[in-house]
Structure 1
Amino acid sequence: MNAALTPIIGQQGVVALYRRSLHLCASTHPRLAGTYDSVQAALDLIALNSVLVEQSEVDALFFGEVLLTTFYELLTTLIGPSLTARLLRGVWEPSLSDTPSQENSP
C-alpha cells in the first residue's frame, strides 16, 4: 500500500493515514487501545508486526481487518472510491468493494 500510495499522497500522507487509522481503531474498539499505544509511531511495520504476533490469532486477525478497513475507508474519503479501488487493486484480491464469494446468491 505504501508503494502504491506514496506517488499520489506522498510519504507523509501515507504515514498520516496509517496513524489516523490506528487512532480510530483504538478509539472505536477499546480492546485495541493497548496495541495502538505500542505502534503509534511513524509507519513502523516491524513494530506493528511484533505487537500482532504477541496477540492471540483471533485478536491479531481482528486488529488487522479493522486497521486495513479503516485505512481503506479514510483513503476513500480523500480520493474517492474509484481511485482508491484502482490504486489498491493489487493489494486486495478481491478488493474491498467486491462481494465475498460466500455472499453471492445463485
Structure 2
Amino acid sequence: MDTALTPIIGQQGVVALYRRSLHLCASTHPSLTRTCDKMPAGMDLTALPSVLVEQSETNALFFGEVLLTTFYELLTTLIGPSLTARLLRDVWKPSLSDTPSQENSP
C-alpha cells in the first residue's frame, strides 16, 4: 500500500493514514489498544512482526484484518471508493496460494 499510495499522497500522507488507522482500531476495538500502543511512531512495518508475535494467532489475525480494513475505509472516505479500489487493486488480490472460491465446495 505504501508503494501504491506514496506517489499520490506522499510518504507523510501514507504515514498519517496508517497512524490514524491505528488510532481508530484502538478506539473501535478496545481489546487492540495494547497492540496499537506498541506500534512505533512512524510506519515502521519491520517492527510489526515483533509486535504481532507477542499476540495469539487469533488476535494477530484480528488485528491485521481490522487495521487493513480501517486503513482501506479511511482512504475511501478521503479519495472515494473508485480511486481507492484502482490504487490498491494489486494489494487486495488473493495470493497464488489461496484456493479459488469455486474449489471450496465439498
Output the CA distance in 1 between the equivalents of 2:28 and 2:49.
21
SS of residue paired to 2:43:
coil
Output the CA distance in 2 between the equivalents of 1:48 and 1:37.
12
| Unaligned stretches of 5+ residues in structure 1 | 95-100
**Number of corresponding residues:** 97
Q: Could you list the structure 1 runs, at least 4 aligned residues long, displaced by more than 2 angstroms after superposition.
A: none
Contact 1:19 1:40 in 2 (8 A): no
Within a 5 Å distance, the mapping from 1:32-47 to structure 2 comes to 32-47=32-47
Instruction: Considering Cα pairs closer than 8 Å and 6+ residues apart, tell me whether 1 or 2 has the greater RCO.
Output: 2
Provide, for residues 21-71 of structure 1, a one-character-per-residue CA deviation record: whole Å limited to 9, x for no partner. 000001111111011110041001122221111111100000000000000
Q: CA deviation at 1:5?
A: 0.1
Q: CA deviation at 1:93?
A: 1.4
Larger radius of gyration: 2
Q: CA deviation at 1:83?
A: 0.4
Provide, for residues 61-96 of structure 1, a one-character-per-residue CA deviation record: whole Å limited to 9, x for no partner. 0000000000000000111000000000000015xx
| Unaligned stretches of 5+ residues in structure 2 | 95-100
Percentage identity across paired residues of the two chains: 82
Within a 5 Å distance, the mapping from 1:74-93 to structure 2 comes to 74-93=74-93
CA RMSD of aligned residues (A): 1.6
Deviates more, 1:39-48 or 1:59-68: 39-48
SS of residue paired to 2:24:
helix
The corresponding residue for 1:68 is 68
Contact 1:38 1:47 in 2 (8 A): no
Output the CA distance in 2 between the equivalents of 1:48 and 1:30.
19
